[in-house]
Amino acid sequence: MLGHVDRLRGELVDLHAQLVRYGLVVWTGGNVSARVPGADLFLIKPSGVLYEDLTPASMVLCTLDGEAVDPSQSPSSDTGSHAYVYRHMPEVAGQVHTHSTYACAWAARGEEIPCVLTAMADEFGGPIPLGPFALIGGEDIGRGVVETLTGHRSKAVIMQNHGTFTIGKDARSAVKAAVMCEDVARSVHMARALGECVPIPQDAIDSLYDRYQNVYGQRPAPTA
């Protein structure tokens, strides 16, 4: 278990740097967390620390009740919500939260992002849904994430008036969903500024999603 914790601490530093690289965060906003395999624990960004100051040791190990294992460390203010998601979605092992600009434009309008690009069908299998308005600090946001994404193909949700939360089978795939969410939020926002968007038929969405999830990419090397 300790080996997993050490590895994940380093991975989380690298993945937080990806949020900066892709322009998804400013100042200390946003966070990535990762579930520790085989333990009722997860690691998350410390509260109020600038991205350039993050170190493996600064990542806060928390219980699934959202409490820091080392009480001298103060985890992200979204920790209670991450904990709620880990408790209620056992398949989730990574989460990301950002206030990325274009996704927030959809959040401010309280609108889901319609599935009008093949890249959306590939990654999200349909629209990126809108989650409820929820106050920060407790686990209300997590409850909204679970209610919205349970049974939904999308790994991203736009929380009304707030920003995006993404989930994944590990922290890296949750970061990928956050990057892709902002990318399509920007494209569809621009399209909408000039007119109506053309929907993709459901059977085509299904076919694109299946191909991307099951066929696209490099095949694993055969094992002899």
Q: Which residues are catalytic?
A: 122, 216
Return the number of the residue (26 or 57) whose C-beta is nearest Zn ion.
26
What span, in angstroms and rounded, lies between the C-alpha atoms of 199 and 146? 27
Greatest C-alpha distance within the chain: 55
- In the three-class reduction of DSSP (H, G, I as helix; E, B as strand; rest coil), residue 137 is classed as coil
**Shortest reach from residue 124's CB to Zn ion, in Å:** 20
CA separation, residue 86 to residues 140, 144, 167, 173, 207 (Å):
14, 13, 10, 15, 30
Closest distance between Zn ion and the C-beta of residue 31, in Å? 8
CB of 208 to Zn ion, least distance (A): 31
- How far apart, in whole angstroms, are the C-alpha atoms of residue 111 and residue 42? 31
User: Residue 126 or residue 163: which is nearer to Zn ion going by CB?
Assistant: 163
Strands 41-44, 31-35: pairing is antiparallel
Q: To the nearest whole angstrom, how small is the minimum distance from the Cβ of residue 165 to Zn ion?
A: 9
CB of 163: closest distance to Zn ion in angstroms?
A: 5
Q: Compare residues 77 and 213 and give the one whose CB is closer to Zn ion.
A: 77
171 in Cβ contact with 90 (< 8 Å): no
66: left (phi over 0), alpha (psi -120 to 50) or beta: left
**Based on CB atoms, which residue is closest to Zn ion, 5 or 103?**
103
d(CA 122, CA 132): 25
Per-residue interface string for the shown chain with Zn ion, residues 91-110, x marking contact by CB under 5 A: --------------------
Amino acid identity, residue 212?
Answer: Y
Residue number with CB closer to Zn ion (142 or 163): 163
Q: Which of 203, 189, 184, 187 is nearest to 127 (CA)?
A: 184
Q: How many residues bind Zn ion (CB under 5 A)?
A: 1
Site for Zn ion in 144-203 (CB under 5 A): 163
Contacting residues toward Zn ion, per CB under 5 A = 163
